[in-house]
Amino acid sequence: MEITASKEVLGQMFGSLESVYPEMIEVRRDFHMHPELSFKEVRTPRIIAEHLRSLDIETHENVGTSGVVGILRGAHPGPSVALRADFDALPMNDEKDVPYKSTVEGVAHACGHDIHTTALMMVERVLVQYKDQLNGNVVFIHQHAEEQPPGGASEIIASGLLKDVDFVYGAHVWDEGAPGEIGFTEGYAMGAGDNFEITLHGDGGHGAMPHTSNDTLVAGCQLVGNLQNIVSRHLDPQKSGVVTVGTIRSGDSHNVIPSKAYIAGTSRCYDDETKSIMRKSLEHISKTTADQFGVTAEVVFAEGYDAVYNHIPETQKLKSLVDTHVPELTTREKPPALTAEDFADYLKEFPGTFFFVGAQKSDAEANYTLHHPKFNPDERSMADIGKVFLTAVSHHLLGLEAAND
């Protein structure tokens, strides 16, 4: 297809996207009211599968634990482009004062996955209208369990349904971006993470006679501070890393020295070398600090996700395409962050990029960060995600090019 024609088709797609946007708001709000935890999703994937079948898109259910994959086969041969959205929620309360707040106690869509899912459903409704013009296939990945390692991405990849994929794209709402802003990051975009648990064991004893016992609580308090030396003294200053202790528990009485202390937290970085250094340092510091107080330390690591590494050619290309063909959107460079995402698994298998879509509210007082109990992104971000997805598909399957190509 000629570039002029492909540009015209993209414009028509955008018109179709806008036409379905109003009714898809209600779909998003329904998802928001009925959130489901990682690996326990039932209702959400059922709705997604019904939606795909209604569009006559090849539908695969129960991929991994509860993922859904749709395949739209174009009329002409060409590459396969995968678009991914996650649909699980978080174990927390929804504290927003809106009619569509969560109806499930202790579960909330506080990371925008309802936005991601609805945006991809909008794209599916649009692309099915143009299947006769597509030179290749589109694979729609509706992924379960992003929030809880080992995550759903690895299960979906293991299913074999992505074996013919040539490119992959994913999106996330961006709590620091204004509506209409699209953030691109070349190379490392998000961090690799480990969770750790440290259990200190000692003798315990009477609070009035500390000299007769080994105090795990004091040892634990000292250890929390010592762990902060990992980043400042064990890592190359040019490398990024963070160690955060999120939990410390010990004892339940005012006059008893506890025999056990429990510490849990997370470590984040970008590359494997730094990850190895942080693991070894954390274990060493835990053991030596415990020795100082005559207690023992048991350290257990839970493997987290690898770092999200955006392929530079695909990232640069998509940014140029958006700059050229979607003037209502503004692209900007987004600094990398040490938050984690299992989209990393897809990018280890296929070239592509993970971009960020501004979702701040126009009212500054209504803006909250991701994972906040009052987080409520601007719903317009659904259409913005859709436009970038459609632009990527049009490049690979319709020959759309940027102005400088």
Give binding residues for Mn(2+) as ranges.
111, 113, 147, 172, 371
**Residue from 36, 114, 146, 342 carrying the catalytic annotation:** 146
**Residue from 86, 88, 94, 384 carrying the catalytic annotation:** 88
> Which amino acid is residue 88, in one-letter code?
D
Cβ atoms of 380 and 125 closer than 8 Å = no
Q: Which residue has the tokens 């140029």?
A: 320
Cβ atoms of 83 and 389 closer than 8 Å = yes
* Sequence-separated (6 or more) residues with CB below 8 Å from residue 245: 224, 227, 263, 264, 265
* Sequence-separated (6 or more) residues with CB below 8 Å from residue 90: 35, 37, 107, 108, 109, 110, 111, 147, 371
Distance CA 405, CA 321 (A): 10
Q: Which segments of 270-334 are extended strands (E)?
A: 296-303, 308-310, 330-333
Distance CA 268, CA 363 (A): 32
* 2 part of the active site: no
Please, what sign has the CA dihedral across residues 206, 209, 215, 217? positive
Binding-site annotation: residue ranges: 111, 113, 147, 172, 371
* 314 part of the active site: no
* Sequence-separated (6 or more) residues with CB below 8 Å from residue 219: 200, 202, 261, 289, 290, 292, 293, 295
Enumerate the active-site residues.
Answer: 88, 146
